[in-house]
């Protein structure tokens, strides 16, 4: 029925029943509009008021518009949109954080018009209560079902809303729906099906029913207690509006039937708590449940505490008292890990083993008790999946709440929680953000790589996270790849040398340090060949190269892509993650096969030949890319050797499918036991059974000056000086400096992707120092004009900071909305500044940018990569506090047509060769051919005596000597032996390296 017809019918009824309108007016206040969708509320986000979308990945947020509709139930416009959600997605209306919160306490509930599609889907509706703003509020949720067609007014009484226990951005404020400080609402749209929707007229209705405004909560859903101890369950009564109780509330309690035996394992208790009328909101009482000791060794046993509430809403969950497991061998920390694993494994059911092999995304759990119900082995935070406020305390509190749930399982096996801390604890606001790996590769400093890993591990573990999905050991062979900045470089020898980061993360190779409060389990990824995918081979969305096909000979596979993983296994890396990409080995007859299905590589090479004894974790939803039905995905990947599946949203389906495959004999119990043994081994090594909860003793060091000093030094050492005509750099404090460019004062661009969110973002995203701020803090005489629109006269030198904006993975592939050229604005800034004065151009980017057409007008050129949060490190080398020492970790091409181009190629004529990097050290070696001959003899001798320190120093002297002569005269004849020399240096062939440099010298 059209809205006008409804109104006419209502008016007619009111006319026939004149008392109806009078009675309604006396009983209820007039509705209060929240959203009319007539344009009064913009599409915006915090801190401004507005409507915004969100989702689990880049495709999940719905599209929204204000649509003119003749049949609009209210006004002339409605909010309409479309969605195609694979994970989760929806939209929010947040009230402005700068304005007072809204008071909804006088109303019965919230209602709105919804245009039904009769799809039977449940739609979650959430309201935001208390806290600092809409994104730091307490979440309360209910739902309605779209089982109708056409417009219908949905009424949601506030008494229907329950505290959201699967995810709270703040971990809970007071667990009371106060309704006096409301910050908006949100809708979660159906996942797994494409659809559209229309909505109109959100308003508050009715008068609050005082008799239904009270609620009863407990302090925790699970109360573990040692055998013989007494569990104390705190019961709290609260009211919406936080007013005293108008009527008494009674809570009748009694221990119920769980897995514990009454009278033997615990003393049954029962009784009634009474909260009289006038009791203050927030008043609490305690129920004590005594447990008993016996001499038997036992798994954990549960005692439900059933609560019957009169006069208020009952808790969403029945609290459980859990008598801890005790006396079993696997709990004995003095036993060898191998014996503990064998004992625990022998006790587990198939369902419990399947649970250990399952990893879910923390925000995707439909119910928090799913952790216990499915015996989940792991949770993760994907990129940008953070608590609010995004603080160390909130992280620890969130993860501890998840760990508490595991205590309600038979064997109380702790979760192992993982994050992508790929350049520092990059999901945490205020963490120390390091340069991305490409910059670390440019430092050529293994000890510094170790220190960056150590800082990352300390900050990650201090928030309760024991597992890091890093480092990426990809060997990036084509800079069109959107993940190329995650690689240390294009040379497997360089990647190998930077694997000291594994010890920084984990500690000693034998795993003895993993229990420390400043170490985490590391992950070598992505096994194997992800950096070698061919351009145009990807079949994932609009990606061009990421997740594509790597075509190699067996020898190329061994020498380039497998080599770093051999080293990682030797270094004791705890986990390995296969690649999304496919591997096509010439002559093996298999063709292109997804890595998650390549048992010959995972079981055969990694676990068999290399002897990897940790566990293999899949990539995000990666098994869904395998051919066949879901059961085939599961058995293929598990049989190929993947031990734990990252199935963010389909954890229930995976666990069920795996169990079915084992029962059907398509996956062997032996294979399951191998996988679970590997997972349990790492959990024991990490000390999680003894200490499952966060040790936050190191939290004060997060973002500390000492940690930031490591990042500052890494930023400085990562700077590669490509050109320095006339010795323009370092700058002098006396010089007047004109700073311009899009990346001079943008910390979001400076830190790149995988910073707070998966894709990262431009702007003032994280605490830190931009390059411009670093220049000013260094004491420089600096004037800044982002677009170079300010007058350019009267300056000694210009510094133009240009480059890329953030991206991650295939979203950043060249051809997917990206190229290797500077933006028009950046080119204009370079042209204007460099035409007016001597200029230095800094390129802040995850990969080389094409600047050959402007190279003649640029006096000094610096590859700054993505230096992280410490812009002072860049200023340190620009002003000479530290010398430029960085070297190119990848070849810098002249044109995109040259790609892929890498050290060792037969045809090699780049703009700047691999290993190139001028220095501003005060003393530059002098000499010529004779000097190089002498250096070669001495380097060969150092090589024979395995004197690596001397050998490297001699090669470095020869390199600097060659660069001094070759600067501005680079040809193919110079570039190829020069690049080859750096590879030889990294493989310890010092004499041959100097011989190659002598060849380059002669070719100048």
Residue 914 structure tokens:
């691999």
Catalytic, out of 619, 682, 717, 980:
619
- Contacts of residues 595-601 at CB distance under 8 Å and 24 or more positions apart, as own/partner, are 595/526, 595/527, 595/528, 595/529, 596/622, 596/623, 596/625, 596/626, 596/636, 596/637, 596/640, 596/642, 597/626, 597/636, 597/637, 597/640, 598/640, 599/639, 599/640, 599/641, 601/527, 601/528
Query: Exposed/middle/buried for 290, CB within 10 Å: 0-12, 13-18, 19+?
Result: middle
Q: Determine what percent of the chain falls in helix, strand and coil, rounding each to the nearest 5.
A: 35, 25, 45
Q: What DSSP letter does each residue of 525-585 carry, written as one string? A: EEETTGGGPPTT---STT-SSTT-EEEE-HHHIIIIIIHHHHHHHHTT-SEEEE-SSEEEE
Distance, in Å, from the CA atom of 442 to the CA atom of 982, rounded to the nearest integer, reads 12
Contact 761, 802 (CB under 8 A): no
Please confirm, yes or no, whether 819 is among the known catalytic residues: no
Contact 117, 75 (CB under 8 A): no
Residue 732 structure tokens:
């002098």
Those residues whose C-beta lies under 8 Å from the C-beta of residue 529, and which sit 6 or more positions away, are 550, 552, 557, 561, 579, 581, 583, 595
* H-type alpha helices, 891-967: 929-944, 948-966
Residue burial 649-681, b: 16+ Cβ < 10 Å; e: rest: bbbbebbbbbbebbeeeebeeebbbbbbbbbbb
Distance, in Å, from the CA atom of 101 to the CA atom of 136, rounded to the nearest integer, reads 12
Q: Which residue has the tokens 């969403």?
A: 316
Contact 396, 696 (CB under 8 A): yes
Dihedral, CA of residue 987, residue 989, residue 995 and residue 996, to nearest 10: -10
Residue 556 structure tokens:
């190329």
Contact 717, 874 (CB under 8 A): no
Distance, in Å, from the CA atom of 766 to the CA atom of 272, rounded to the nearest integer, reads 51
User: For residue 968, what is the enclosing H or E element?
Assistant: none
Those residues whose C-beta lies under 8 Å from the C-beta of residue 946, and which sit 6 or more positions away, are none
Please confirm, yes or no, whether 809 is among the known catalytic residues: yes
Cα 232 from chain centroid?
Answer: 37
Residue 530 structure tokens:
């992800």
Sequence length of the chain is 1004
Catalytic, out of 74, 809, 870, 876:
809
- Terminal CA-to-CA distance of the chain, rounded, Å? 85
Distance, in Å, from the CA atom of 886 to the CA atom of 917, rounded to the nearest integer, reads 6
Quote the DSSP letter at residue 261. P
CA distance readout (Å), 107 to 25, 85, 102, 152, 516: 14, 34, 12, 21, 53
User: For residue 906, what is the enclosing H or E element?
Assistant: none
Residue 428 structure tokens:
């945490």
- Catalytic site positions: 619, 809
């Amino acid at each position: 029925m059209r809205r006008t017809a409804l109104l006419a019918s209502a008016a007619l009824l009111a006319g026939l029943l004149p008392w109806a309108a009078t009675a309604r007016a006396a009983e209820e206040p007039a509705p209060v509009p929240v959203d009319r969708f007539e344009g009064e509320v913009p599409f915006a986000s915090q801190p401004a008021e507005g409507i915004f979308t969100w989702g689990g990945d880049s495709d999940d947020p719905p599209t929204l518009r204000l649509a003119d509709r003749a049949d609009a139930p209210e006004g002339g416009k409605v909010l309409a949109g479309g969605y195609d959600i694979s994970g989760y997605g929806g939209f929010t209306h947040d009230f402005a954080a700068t304005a007072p919160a809204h008071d909804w306490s006088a109303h019965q509930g919230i209602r709105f018009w919804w245009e039904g599609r009769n799809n039977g889907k449940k739609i979650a509706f959430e309201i935001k209560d208390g806290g600092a703003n809409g994104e730091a509020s307490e979440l309360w949720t209910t739902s309605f079902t779209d089982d109708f067609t056409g417009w219908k007014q949905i009424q949601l009484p506030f008494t229907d809303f329950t505290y959201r226990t699967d995810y709270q951005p703040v971990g809970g404020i007071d667990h009371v729906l106060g309704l006096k400080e409301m910050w908006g609402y949100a809708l979660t749209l159906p996942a797994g099906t494409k659809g559209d929707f229309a909505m109109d007229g959100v308003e508050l209705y009715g008068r609050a029913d005082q008799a239904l405004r009270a609620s009863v909560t407990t302090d925790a859903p699970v109360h573990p207690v040692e055998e013989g101890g007494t569990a104390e369950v705190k019961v709290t009564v609260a009211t919406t509006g936080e007013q005293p109780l108008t009527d008494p509330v009674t809570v009748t309690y009694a221990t119920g039937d769980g897995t514990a035996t009454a009278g033997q394992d615990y003393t049954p208790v029962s009784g009634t708590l009474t909260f009289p009328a006038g009791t203050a909101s927030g008043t609490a009482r305690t129920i004590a449940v005594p447990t008993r000791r016996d001499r038997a060794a036992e798994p954990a046993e549960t005692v439900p505490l059933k609560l019957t509430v009169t006069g208020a809403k009952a808790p969403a969950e029945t609290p459980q008292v859990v008598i801890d497991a005790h006396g079993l061998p696997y709990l004995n920390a003095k036993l060898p890990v191998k014996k503990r694993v064998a004992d625990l494994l022998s006790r587990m059911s198939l369902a419990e083993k399947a649970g250990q092999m399952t990893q879910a995304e923390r925000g995707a759990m439909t119910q928090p008790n799913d952790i216990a119900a499915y015996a989940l082995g792991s949770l993760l935070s994907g990129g940008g999946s953070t608590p609010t406020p995004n603080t160390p305390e909130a992280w620890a509190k969130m993860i501890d709440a998840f760990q508490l749930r595991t205590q309600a399982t038979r064997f109380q096996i702790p979760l192992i929680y993982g994050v992508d801390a790929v350049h520092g604890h990059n999901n945490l606001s205020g963490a120390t953000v390091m340069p991305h790996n490409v910059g670390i590769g440019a430092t050529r400093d293994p000890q510094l790589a170790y220190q960056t890993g150590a800082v990352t591990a300390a900050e990650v573990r201090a928030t309760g996270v024991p597992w890091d999905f890093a480092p990426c050991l990809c060997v990036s062979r084509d800079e069109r790849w959107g993940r190329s900045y995650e690689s240390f470089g294009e040379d497997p020898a360089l990647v190998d040398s930077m694997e000291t980061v594994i010890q920084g993360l984990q500690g000693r190779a034998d795993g003895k340090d993993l229990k420390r409060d400043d170490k985490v389990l590391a992950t070598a990824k992505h096994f194997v060949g992800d950096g070698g995918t061919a351009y145009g081979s990807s079949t994932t969305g609009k990606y061009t190269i990421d997740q594509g096909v790597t075509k190699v000979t067996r020898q190329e596979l061994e020498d380039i892509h497998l080599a770093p993983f051999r080293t990682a296994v030797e270094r004791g890396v705890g986990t390995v993650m296969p690649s999304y990409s496919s591997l096509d080995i010439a002559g093996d007859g298999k063709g292109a096969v997804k890595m998650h299905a390549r048992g010959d590589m995972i079981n055969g090479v990694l676990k068999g030949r290399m002897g990897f004894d940790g566990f293999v974790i899949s990539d995000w939803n990666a098994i869904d890319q395998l051919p066949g039905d879901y059961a085939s995905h599961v058995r293929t990947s598990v049989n190929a050797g993947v031990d734990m599946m990252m199935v963010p949203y389909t954890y229930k389906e995976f666990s069920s499918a795996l169990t079915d495959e084992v029962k059907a004999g398509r996956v062997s119990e032996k294979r399951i036991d191998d996988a679970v043994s590997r997972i349990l081994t790492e959990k024991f090594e990490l000390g999680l059974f003894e200490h499952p909860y966060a040790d936050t003793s190191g939290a004060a060091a997060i973002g500390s000056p000492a940690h930031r000093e490591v990042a500052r030094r890494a930023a400085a050492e990562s700077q590669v000086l490509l050109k320095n005509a006339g010795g323009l750099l370092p700058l002098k404090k006396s010089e007047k400096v004109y700073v311009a460019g899009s990346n001079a004062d943008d910390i979001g661009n400076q830190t790149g992707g995988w910073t707070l969110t998966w894709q990262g973002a431009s702007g003032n995203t994280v605490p830190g120092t931009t390059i411009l701020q670093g220049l000013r803090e260094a004491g420089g005489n600096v004037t800044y004009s982002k677009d170079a629109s300010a007058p350019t006269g009267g300056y000694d030198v210009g510094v133009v900071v240009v480059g890329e904006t953030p991206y991650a993975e295939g979203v950043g592939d060249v051809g997917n909305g990206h190229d290797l050229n500077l933006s028009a604005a950046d080119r204009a800034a370079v042209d204007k500044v460099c035409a007016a004065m001597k200029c230095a151009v800094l390129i802040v980017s995850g990969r080389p940018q094409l600047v050959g057409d402007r190279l003649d007008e640029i006096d000094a050129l610096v590859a700054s990569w993505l230096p992280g949060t410490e812009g002072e490190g860049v200023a340190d080398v620009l002003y000479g506090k530290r010398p430029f020492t960085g070297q190119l970790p990848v070849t810098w091409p002249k044109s995109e047509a040259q790609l892929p181009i890498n050290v060792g190629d037969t045809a090699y004529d780049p703009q700047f060769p691999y290993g190139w990097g001028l220095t501003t050290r005060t003393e530059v070696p002098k000499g010529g051919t004779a000097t190089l001959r002498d250096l070669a003899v001495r380097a060969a001798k150092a090589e024979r005596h395995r004197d690596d320190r001397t050998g490297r120093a001699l090669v470095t002297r020869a390199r600097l000597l060659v660069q001094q002569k070759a600067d501005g005269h680079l040809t193919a004849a110079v570039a190829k032996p020069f690049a080859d020399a750096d590879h030889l240096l990294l493989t310890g062939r010092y004499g041959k390296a100097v011989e190659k440099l002598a060849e380059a010298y002669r070719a100048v």
